[in-house]
């Protein structure tokens, strides 16, 4: 099935936990019929001293220039077939905003994805640290997580909020109804002017569900939050994965348009039927 769409969340082998040459990612995007592919590899772990950065969780700082060159090379080589966008997925770590701002200023991004993968020092989406869930009341964990995501939206550093309910990844479900939390997060995103991405990677994880939950996506729609689309591919064959399901979810939530980015400027584009 050809999908005249974008995939704005794609990693590369440079992050230490993805595989395959960048050219294979691009070729998969072309085969899928995508109009745009955005490389958004994990930024280095800027908030830690260099000897404490996990090489399996992000690029090294010295690799950044090479990453940009790789994206530029793909952009030129495949210009006739697909538009390539330059992005990064940066971790939001409260208290380290100014450091991140200075790093992001070094490059000419098309857009920047802000993601919460850590609460304090705990990488809660990392299967190596699953035991951390035992220390939390799950309702309290959700509340804390959504508050940090709201802060990431308000930081002004990001164009798009990555996988806005990643905390559900391993299937930990809150007991409390989340309607108010969803409405509050959607309102914070709307006021901050950020997009939320519909990220299909959750379908490949224990939770078996797209990020965000349909009710959170409906809350975003009600608040007027724009959306982008991404597979969170960590292998070439994952590019464009389940984007048709993402479009279906968007239609069900009342969305008719999504956002494309170039040089941090937005254009609203109609979703395919």
Contact of 14 with 220, CB cutoff 8 Å:
no
Structure tokens at 230: 């991404």
User: What is the Cβ-side half-sphere exposure of residue 178, based on CA atoms within 13 angstroms?
Assistant: 27
CB under 5 A: which stretch of 19-27, 111-119, 128-136, 205-213 binds Zn ion? 111-119
Give the nearer residue to Zn ion in terms of CB position, either 5 or 57.
Answer: 57
Give residues with Cβ within 8 angstroms of 250, minimum separation 6: 198, 217, 227, 258, 271
Instruction: Rule CB under 5 A: say whether 231 interacts with Zn ion.
Output: no
Closest distance to Zn ion from the beta carbon of 259 (Å)? 19
Q: Name the burial class of residue 209, with classes exposed (0-12), middle (13-18) and buried (19+) by CB atoms within 10 angstroms of its CB.
A: middle
Neighbour tally for 65: CB within 10 Å: 11
- CB-closest chain residue to Zn ion: 115
160 is an interface residue for Zn ion by CB under 5 A: no
Helices (H), 110-224: 138-154, 179-192, 214-223
CA dist 223 and 47 (Å) reads 32
The answer to whether 115 contacts Zn ion (rule: CB under 5 A) is: yes
28 neighbors 237 (Cβ within 8 angstroms): yes
- The least CB distance from residue 15 to Zn ion, in Å, is 6
Name the segment binding Zn ion (CB under 5 A); options: 45-53, 70-78, 108-116, 142-150.
108-116
Least Å distance, CB 66 to Zn ion, is 18
Q: Which stretch binds Zn ion (CB under 5 A): 65-73, 91-99, 110-118, 175-183?
A: 110-118
Residue owning tokens 């772990």: 45
C-beta of 38 vs 162, nearer to Zn ion: 162
Our CB check for Zn ion shows the closer of 115 and 260 to be 115
- Least distance to Zn ion from the beta carbon of 234, Å? 6
Least distance (Å) from Zn ion to the CB of residue 17?
A: 6
Binding site for Zn ion (CB under 5 A): 115, 162
């Amino acid at each position: 099935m050809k999908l005249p769409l974008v995939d704005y969340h794609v990693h590369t082998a440079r992050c230490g936990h993805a595989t395959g040459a960048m050219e294979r990612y691009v070729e998969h995007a072309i085969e899928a019929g995508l109009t745009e592919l955005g490389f958004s590899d994990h930024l280095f772990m800027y908030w830690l001293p260099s000897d404490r950065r996990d090489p399996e969780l992000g690029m090294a700082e010295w690799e950044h220039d090479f990453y940009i060159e790789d994206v530029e090379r793909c952009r030129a080589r495949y210009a006739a077939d697909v538009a390539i966008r330059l992005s990064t997925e940066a971790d939001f770590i409260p208290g380290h905003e100014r450091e991140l701002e200075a790093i992001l200023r070094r490059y000419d991004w098309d857009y920047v994805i802000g993601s919460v993968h850590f609460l304090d020092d705990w990488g809660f989406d990392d299967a190596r640290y699953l035991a951390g869930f035992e220390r939390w009341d799950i309702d309290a964990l959700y509340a804390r997580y959504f508050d940090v995501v709201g802060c990431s939206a308000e930081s002004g550093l990001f164009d798009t909020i990555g996988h806005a309910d990643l905390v559900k990844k391993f299937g930990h479900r809150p007991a409390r109804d989340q309607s108010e939390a969803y409405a509050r997060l959607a309102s914070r995103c709307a006021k901050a002017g950020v997009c939320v991405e519909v990220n299909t990677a959750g379908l490949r994880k224990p939770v078996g569900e797209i990020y965000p939950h349909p009710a959170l996506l409906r809350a975003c729609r009600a608040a007027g939050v724009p959306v982008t689309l991404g597979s969170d591919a960590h292998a070439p064959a994952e590019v464009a994965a389940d984007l048709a399901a993402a479009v279906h979810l968007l239609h069900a939530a009342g969305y008719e348009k999504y956002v494309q980015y170039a040089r941090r400027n937005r254009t609203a584009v109609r979703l395919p039927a």
